């Protein structure tokens, strides 16, 4: 659990228009109405002794998440293939965690390099024989090479300086390279629903959404449109539409919920499970809680 101090109370600037933002919904969240961007003032401890993934030890839970993630990675790779059909592209996977995307992309015939700042996760990935570096992004050490593709899977929203990331992409992406951003959606149903609950002081889902209790919480919530404005400031233009990803499946839902143990946990899980089933038609029709998009550099 994150034992660092909570929000500092300072006002954050919007990374898109650079104006000071207003507090909204909770003491740590800030919103720019003009840009439709959400930011959080939360402490980050990427190099902590463990990793957030270590804190979840339930194998069934991890397995259920992995199945869904592999399926989503296949959607991303299919889209990449349509945009850039050449085989054997070089991919840089930023924040590769335990290498799940790397392994999936290798099966598709791509050459994948990972970069991971968290020591335990880096070690897990290296032990699998994957080509991974222990560093941040942009890396402290010059990589001395460029890539056909740079991808961020659930990573962009964790890094404080989004401008430094996009500058790093400009440095390490080939001229005709593709940047893939896969991240949570501020127009997603769970985001909207959690925000409604938070406004009546039911902060549990809202805090969970921002991963307040983790060493590496979510610091940003973009929409496809607000992310497009930010990317354009670094010459990246979307070459795909907003591609939505399902983050919830009925299959495996019970094991995902069953991380709360004990009798009270069981009771809560039953309510959450039945509630999700009842809401499922609404979930299917609404905007998904994660989206991805492909970007290329604007030619002058
Ligand atoms: Zn703004």
How far is the centre of ligand 1, averaged over its atoms, from the C-alpha of 167 (Å)?
Answer: 19
Q: Residue 185 Cα, ligand 1 centroid: separation in angstroms?
A: 17
Joined together, the tokens standing for residue 23 give 């507090």
pLDDT higher than 60, residue 54: no
Q: What is the pLDDT of residues 70-87, one digit of tens each?
A: 999 999 999 999 999 998
First to last CA, the chain: 47
**HSE (CB half, 13 Å, CA atoms) of 58?**
13
Region of residue 80 (left: phi > 0; alpha: psi -120 to 50; beta: else): alpha
φ, ψ at 130 (rounded to 5°): -85, 155
Higher pLDDT, 51 or 135: 135
Q: How far is the CA of 39 from the centre of ligand 1 (A)?
A: 10
Percentage with pLDDT > 90 across the chain: 63
- The packing angle between helices 162-172 and 224-232, to 10°, is 60
Q: What SS3 state is found at 90? A: strand
- Lowest pLDDT segment from 33-47, 128-142, 272-286: 272-286
Q: What separation in Å is there between the alpha carbon of 222 and the centre of ligand 1?
A: 11
Phi/psi at 271 (5° precision) = -65, -45
Dihedral angle over CA of 148, 154, 160, 162, nearest 10 = 40
Gap between the Cα atoms of 235 and 183, Å rounded? 20
- With bands split at pLDDT 50, 70 and 90, how would you rate the model's confidence at 48? low
Residue 187, pLDDT above cutoff 50: yes
Query: Ligand 1 centroid vs 34 CA: distance in angstroms?
Result: 5
How far does the centroid of ligand 1 lie from the alpha carbon of residue 158, in Å? 19
Distance in Å, CA 37 to ligand 1 centroid: 7
At 10, is the pLDDT very low, low, confident or very high (cuts 50, 70, 90)? confident
Mean pLDDT of the chain: 87
Q: Which of 131-140, 218-227, 254-263, 274-283 has the lowest mean pLDDT?
A: 254-263
The predicted pLDDT at position 228 comes to 98
Q: How far is CA 44 from the centre of its chain?
A: 15
Q: How far is the CA of 29 from the centre of ligand 1 (A)?
A: 14
Question: What are the φ/ψ torsions at residue 234 (nearest 5 degrees)?
Answer: -120, 25
Q: Ligand 1 centre and the CA of 191: distance in Å?
A: 19
Pick the CATH number of 22-297 from 3.40.50.150, 1.10.10.10, 3.30.365.10, 3.40.50.300: 3.40.50.150
Q: What letter does residue 49 receive in the DSSP assignment?
A: S
The CA 40 to ligand 1 mean position distance, Å, reads 14
Please write the tens of the pLDDT for every residue from 234-286.
Answer: 999 999 999 987 766 655 666 666 655 566 677 777 877 787 777 777 766 77
CA of 187 to the centre of ligand 1 (A): 16
Domain ranges in the chain are 22-297
Q: Calculate how far, in angstroms, residue 15's C-alpha sits from the geometric centre of ligand 1.
A: 7
Q: Examine the pLDDT at 57 and tell me if it is beyond 60.
A: no
How much is the pLDDT for 46?
A: 72
Q: Rounded to an integer, what distance in angstroms lies between the CA atom of residue 244 and that of residue 81?
A: 17
Q: Are strands 236-238 and 290-297 parallel, antiparallel or unpaired?
A: antiparallel
pLDDT surpassing 80 at residue 27: yes
Largest pairwise CA distance in the chain = 62
Span from the CA of 248 to the centroid of ligand 1 (angstroms): 30
Token duo for residue 227:
């992310």
pLDDT in tens, 87-113: 889 999 999 999 999 999 999 999 999
Q: Report the percent of the chain where pLDDT is more than 70.
A: 84
228 CA distance to ligand 1 middle (Å): 13
> What pLDDT score was predicted for residue 247?
64
* Amino acid 86: pLDDT: 92
Predicted confidence at residue 112, as pLDDT, reads 98
User: Would you say residue 13 has pLDDT above 80?
Assistant: yes
pLDDT at 11: 83
pLDDT(50) > 60: no
Read off the pLDDT of each residue in 212-237 and give the average, rounded to a whole number.
Answer: 95
Give the pLDDT confidence score for residue 25 in this predicted structure.
92
pLDDT of residue 255: 63
Q: For 109-130, what is the mean pLDDT?
A: 94
């Amino acid at each position: 659990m994150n034992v660092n101090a909570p929000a500092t109370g300072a006002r954050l600037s919007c990374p898109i228009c650079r104006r000071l933002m207003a507090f909204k919904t909770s003491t740590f969240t800030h919103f720019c109405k003009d840009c439709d961007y959400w930011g959080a003032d939360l402490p980050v401890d990427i190099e902590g002794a463990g990793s957030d993934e270590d804190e979840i030890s339930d194998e069934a839970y991890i397995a259920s998440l992995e199945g869904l993630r592999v399926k989503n990675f296949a959607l991303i790779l299919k889209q990449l293939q349509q945009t850039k059909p050449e085989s054997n592209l070089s991919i840089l996977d930023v924040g590769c965690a335990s290498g799940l995307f790397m392994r999936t992309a290798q099966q598709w015939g791509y050459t994948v390099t990972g970069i991971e700042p968290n020591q335990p996760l880096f070690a897990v990935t290296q032990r699998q024989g994957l080509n991974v570096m222990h560093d941040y992004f942009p890396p402290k050490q010059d990589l001395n090479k460029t890539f056909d593709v740079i991808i961020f899977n659930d990573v962009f929203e964790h890094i404080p300086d989004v401008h430094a990331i996009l500058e790093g992409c400009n440095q390490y992406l080939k001229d005709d390279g593709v940047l893939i951003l896969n991240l949570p959606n501020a127009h997603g149903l769970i985001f909207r629903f959690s925000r409604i609950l938070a406004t009546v002081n039911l902060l549990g889902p809202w805090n969970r959404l921002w991963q307040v209790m983790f060493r590496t919480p979510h610091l940003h919530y973009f929409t496809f449109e607000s992310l497009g404005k930010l990317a354009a400031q670094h010459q990246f233009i979307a070459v795909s539409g907003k591609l939505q990803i399902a983050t919830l499946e009925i299959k495996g839902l019970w094991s995902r919920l069953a991380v709360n143990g004990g009798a009270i946990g069981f009771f809560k899980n039953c309510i959450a499970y039945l509630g999700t089933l009842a809401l499922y038609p609404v979930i299917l029709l609404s905007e998904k809680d994660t989206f991805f998009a492909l970007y290329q550099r604007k030619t002058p």
